[in-house]
Chains A and B, each alone.
Chain A
């Protein structure tokens, strides 16, 4: 301590806490997007640390596709109750029932989350939405500001972003516009796992390896569940898998792994040769610019 140095992870934590406080102090109605995935779990943890011993001064929101891992939803409800924050659920199923969005024929609800998110933001007049996205995840995210401006239609314009100098974040918006705020911008997947390990943050069991019944689709192993049933001609088999990311239960594949503790996961992530999205997400595969296109429309 005598040379006044701190670890890289401690510096990332300090930066994230600064960002949380900056938004709470300058924006009118912030909200934290919380899905029960590991990045949003880390976000909730950081938000608690930023305002301790006071409670988190904003609600959390889950844009619920209805295609969740049941255990992740249990975890979500438990964590939210513990943290004493208000949970808002924006339901995609409900939006489908109301005819606000139409379910695509392939049953993936990733893209139709966006209008549901934007509708909820408008209804509650949120002007700042915290997301757990990281720049190391994907090449379009690598280009995004920490405070990322969205127009009245929730759109991102990657060719015309606000300059962002030092740590002077510009969160000013007119009514109807928003800022998406990404406190984990500078974290890598490994940083997130190491932080979870060093802070002893509990995670849903899907993140740890277990024998799961899976089907192989294009080299990706999908666990059989409520949303993934073997199709004609598909064989199921048992394999030890864990999840590196947790998105919709019908889109997220597991990776072969023996890791049953955080330390074992960290050891695996340290030597992995594939990005987490590359290894696990069916939703990014559509085209080279899939993420950029979705972000332009207002996706996280």
Chain B
């Protein structure tokens, strides 16, 4: 039974990482270099990129073309939306999200960073930190991406000067102390030339740290998951109407956090009724325990009224049940700002509710982290703290404690677009 899950070959750990940083700081080039030097490219992918680059008259093959695959991206020479790339080394599997630096596309950077275990923030050595580097670093810390790597890029253009590196390292570290950055590593690189990307650089003997790839392979991520708080948002009720399975009634969902076992006492929120787990089913047979990120079907010993949007947890460790939500919101809509008393749809775990903005407490200045308490709305790419009142209670935790039950999205009810990201505080 449980063995089928572990015995499948390839038990490599998976690391998801996202690039971040200002436009033209070399994010896509760095990903191209990483793929190229670790021999993760297919011949025909490389040939196609070489041909496009040669056709444009580039002096050298533009590695950014490996991820900048859209027509407009190639015309404008910038990244517009996230590109996902997949590669593995003998150590690990990687999912890369190469995100855009342009401020107009911040929402796409947020998309890529929301699921990342690690953020790779690039800074151009010649320019140092700019507003967009700060904005992205702030967003990564807000999204609680657990690991951060600052790559001081284009070291080839500053003669691989240690003093330049140190200055940027210090400046960033000072900024990072104002944010919550649990784990920061700083590496000087040249994405274009390959220094310290896959191979240690000969041009920077003063740098004793690992190459970027080495760090990505070794950074410890296993303890990032929450295995303590049982949270099981019910997605779908499975009730086959067939004679073989007449009495089957199971609650399907993906374990958000914690470990569940048959026999465990559970409480159903928001109703507060309790029961015990009768069994944890999968198509491959029952499991002895379920933990994130498994998708399972839970059966309870008692007939309770449980439906989509409800949550199973332990009676002694419950999610908060609340209609008054305090959250940091990142606004992503260019058409209309978030407004005081504005009404929106909210999706949180498996539950869909409506919400009204009761208060805009402040808007945050990204450079100084100063709070503007006179703000009454949030425009595109602005971040602020708001209070929402929802039509039905959310079954939630602070985002810092639980990424799965602490995040929500805000949807415009008129055009159905996703217009905001919320982080419960």
> A9-49 interface mask toward B, CB cutoff 8 Å, 1 = contact, 0 = none?
11101110110011011100000000000000000000011
**Residue in chain A with minimal CB distance to B96:** A142
**Binding site secondary structure of chain A:** loop
Docked-complex contact A140 and B416, CB < 8 angstroms: no
B121 to chain A, nearest CB (A): 19
Interface centre among A49, A158, A185, A272 (most CB of B within 10 A): A158
> B77-117 interface mask toward A, CB cutoff 8 Å, 1 = contact, 0 = none?
00011111110000001010000000000011011001100
Partner of B236, one of A3, A24, A55, A162: A24
- Give CA–CA (A213, B384) in the complex, Å: 66
Partner of B238, one of A5, A51, A138: A51
- Give CA–CA (A173, B350) in the complex, Å: 18
Docked-complex contact B43 and A136, CB < 8 angstroms: no
Known: A163-B107, A165-B409. A139 touches B69 (CB 8 A): yes
In the bound complex, residues from chain B placing their C-beta under 8 Å from that of A167 are 115, 254, 404
B224 at the interface (CB under 8 A from A): no
A window 134-192: CB within 8 A of B: 135-136, 138-140, 142-143, 145, 158-159, 161-168, 170, 172-174, 185-186, 188
Interface centre among A1, A48, A163 (most CB of B within 10 A): A163
Docked-complex contact B86 and A158, CB < 8 angstroms: no
Interface residues on A, range: 35 or more
Docked-complex contact A163 and B252, CB < 8 angstroms: no
A289 at the interface (CB under 8 A from B): yes
- Give CA–CA (A7, B294) in the complex, Å: 11
In the bound complex, residues from chain B placing their C-beta under 8 Å from that of A15 are 293, 295
Q: How many A-B residue pairs have CB under 8 A?
A: 204
Docked-complex contact A168 and B407, CB < 8 angstroms: yes
A64 at the interface (CB under 8 A from B): no
Docked-complex contact A275 and B252, CB < 8 angstroms: no
A117 at the interface (CB under 8 A from B): no
- Give CA–CA (A31, B245) in the complex, Å: 25
In the bound complex, residues from chain A placing their C-beta under 8 Å from that of B252 are 21, 50-51
Docked-complex contact B6 and A188, CB < 8 angstroms: no
**Residue in chain B with minimal CB distance to A45:** B283
Docked-complex contact B84 and A135, CB < 8 angstroms: yes
Known: A10-B8, A21-B236. A292 touches B70 (CB 8 A): yes
Q: 8 A-B residue contacts at CB 8 Å?
A: A8-B14, A143-B84, A167-B404, A174-B416, A194-B9, A194-B10, A198-B8, A292-B70
Binding site for A on B (CB under 8 A): 2, 5-6, 8-14, 42-45, 48, 52, 67, 69-72, 80-86, 93, 95, 107-108, 110-111, 114-115, 222, 225, 227, 235-236, 238-242, 244-245, 248, 252-254, 259, 281-284, 288-289, 291, 293-295, 297, 308, 332, 345, 347-348, 350, 352, 403-404, 407-409, 411, 416-418, 421
